Structure 1
């Protein structure tokens, strides 16, 4: 399950290119953004204002210029996201650029990515234990809320220990639909 993690800075005098595209999915539009190092951001409900806000924030954090689908670096992420929503993909296996996650948050997100496979869930407290911080369940929640790569780094799989869904930055209905797709929750009868 190895993923390339490349965090080399952009050479002085050069502007990073942040390539982006919006993809339709079973949970609405998704913004995918990538640098030369890999997929760096995913945003749900990416119509209009959300798209513009996300691109502005990510480009600002990276010191990058947003460019709509320039070199084709998003072709594979788009293909795999589409395949995930049709039920044919259980692990994205994409090269990720972790530039937007640091410290404890990155540690938690990497454990989530590597240790919570498709069709399973983990409680906030359990994830905290897995990263050696058993009293940090609340901090795990913060890490989930700051996840720059939701869906691909599956924060929708983190739930409350009592079986509750917990929170989800893109809305509980989106979380519920993703967990239904993965067979964790039963699909509604109507």
Structure 2
């Protein structure tokens, strides 16, 4: 595998995780479900993604942070972050698929309670006539797949990635390459004699 191919795979993995996280954040503010009430008013209560799936925003933010961190971490943390990305994608996907397929009553509980004052699953299910899903749960499933695939790609290619920039390295192997004044200061900071 050439260095150019490795760079493209690295960029693809990081962008997939970032894009999935960004879509998840956007989705948390959009209407996922509409609950129609049968209390005589036929009121339609919109349910945003953050209310329908409470972990949506936190998992999406974690994916964004993880994607950014992947650009600077070392090899061991790449593997750790890849596994975390796979877990984030799987968790986000499972929750989104559940809401898209089932439209469960617990996913509309918060907004319906705010609109009617009723609480408890029995009270809410008694007043909710119908729950309709928008495309956003499906869009978030696609975002979770991006995060998951990005994690798998990192796991498969992390050993070929080049290390981060010089400012992220912690030390230098003695006797390798030319030394400059910054290296001498670094040696002094570690308590080593740069003249030896």
> Which structure: larger Rg?
2
TM-score for both structures, normalised by structure 1: 0.25
**Which gives a bigger RCO, structure 1 or 2 (Cα 8 Å, sep 6+)?**
2
**Higher helix proportion, which one?**
2
TM-score normalised according to structure 2 size: 0.25
Where is the strand percentage greater, Structure 1 or Structure 2? Answer: 1
